[in-house]
Structure 1
Amino acid sequence: MSHRLLPDSLRQQIRQYEQYKWQETRGVDEDNLICNLPKDLRRDIKRHLCLALLMRVGGSSPSLGATIYASRFAANALRLLCHNHTRKTRMPERIPPMLLQKPAEPDFTDEEQ
């Protein structure tokens, strides 16, 4: 930085930012790393994220609605990571219960008997 003739205050701000970024990421830029992985590895990461979300939401037998919701969320989260390197994405702690309601069971009884 010294060869750029930047003021000391600006150099200090740059150092502080780099130190903060290092502490947050431990020196690994995960966003860039994921985007540069082969497609099959990115798919496996998506599956893992989706499975982790499903286990937090519904335990061992999640409903179809929760499965679809979690799958879309994981895909969108990974897509956002790959397209927008400046924003961090947070997984929600819990999906609202109204999205996880089980649909009514269909009635297959024969009414004409």
Structure 2
Amino acid sequence: MTARFRRCGHGTGPLHPGDHRAVTEFTAMLTARQRPAPWTGHGDVAVRITPDGRGLERGRPADGQQPDADPVALVLIHPDTETSLTGMLHCTRARIHGAWTTSYRLLTRALAGRDLPADLNLTV
């Protein structure tokens, strides 16, 4: 019995439209990760929650937050539903990767189905 697969990594011919969309989304994520848009102090922010900086989460600054404040008071929110994942946290500006874009949602713990660490500390 032989199993037929839709496409492998070395297949010939044009990409399937679903494969093309996945490649486009992944390429956009890599581009945004390498060249983040600067955060101006307004709008949502991409926050590095681990010391190695591989995982990003979506943060929303507190109302009335000064654009040049350090540390920044923010709440981590779900990338899709915009529900709050944490209470108010204080985050150093060094942990801010840049302005949040939808390309970063692939790098969040919420999308992977993992919880945030219980001992989350963004002040270092």
Please, what TM-score do these two structures have when normalized by structure 2?
A: 0.30
Give the greater-gyration-radius structure (CA).
1
Structure whose residues are more often helix by fraction: 1
Q: Which structure has the higher relative contact order (CA within 8 Å, separation 6+)?
A: 2
Structure whose residues are more often strand by fraction: 2
Please, what TM-score do these two structures have when normalized by structure 1?
A: 0.31
